Each structure stands twice: as C-alpha cells, then as structure tokens.
Amino acid sequence: EVGSKNFFTSLFTGISKENDDPNLPQCKIQAMTWVIRKNEDGSVKWRQTPLHAAVNFNAPMKLLSKLLRIHPDAVRLRDDRGNLPLHLAFRNGLQEEKIALLAELFPDGVNAKNNRGK
C-alpha cells in the first residue's frame, strides 16, 4: 500500500499518463500495490490497484494484458467502492475487447455487485 500523494510507483505513474511503453517495470510487487488517497482526517478517499487505474484511464490493451499477466488475481480485487475492474470497464465504456478480457479471466465478475448494488 502506498499513498498516492507522495509515493506513486513508476507503474502507476505510467498507467495514469496512458503510457503503453512495453518497458514499464514488470514488477509483481508494484502490480500488487494498492494506491490510496486519504482525506485530511485520514479516512480513505479512494483505493485502487494498478489494474483499476489502467481501466479507469482506458489504458491500451497491451498494458492491460501485461498487468494481468503480472498479477492475474487483480481482476478479482475490489476498490474502495466495491468495484471490480470489470465494473469500471462497463462504467467507463471500454472497448469490447478489453471487457471480454476481464470477463474471460473472471466470469463471475459479470454478476458481481459493488457497494451500491450495481
């Protein structure tokens, strides 16, 4: 877990800048790291994995595939709002190819509900 304000990992930074550079670090530790932004009172404002970020930023397919190769279980992890990467893919209108990849790796995610029951 790292705080987003001061400790962006190079992987997270690459994702947020829509970087599809194949030389991004292939570090499982970074791919497994939760990035968290906290409110002034210390409560969690948001929390996500690099895969969640990649989906939120509509990262290139090459980068999504790389993240899933490095950390395939990330497709089953929920952010602070209970969203799976698949929820975010639908919400953000990602291309069918990207949604299909996430659904193929975690078919049960199609019927999973987030904290809002969606």
pLDDT digits (tens, 9 = 90+) for 53-69: 999 999 999 889 988 98
Q: How many CB atoms lie within 10 A of CB 41?
A: 6
Using CB atoms within 10 Å of the CB of residue 107, give its burial: 0 to 12 exposed, 13 to 18 middle, 19+ buried: exposed
Query: Domains of the chain (ranges plus CATH)?
Result: 2-107 (1.25.40.20)
pLDDT digits (tens, 9 = 90+) for 20-78: 554 454 467 777 788 888 999 999 898 999 899 999 999 999 889 988 988 899 999 99
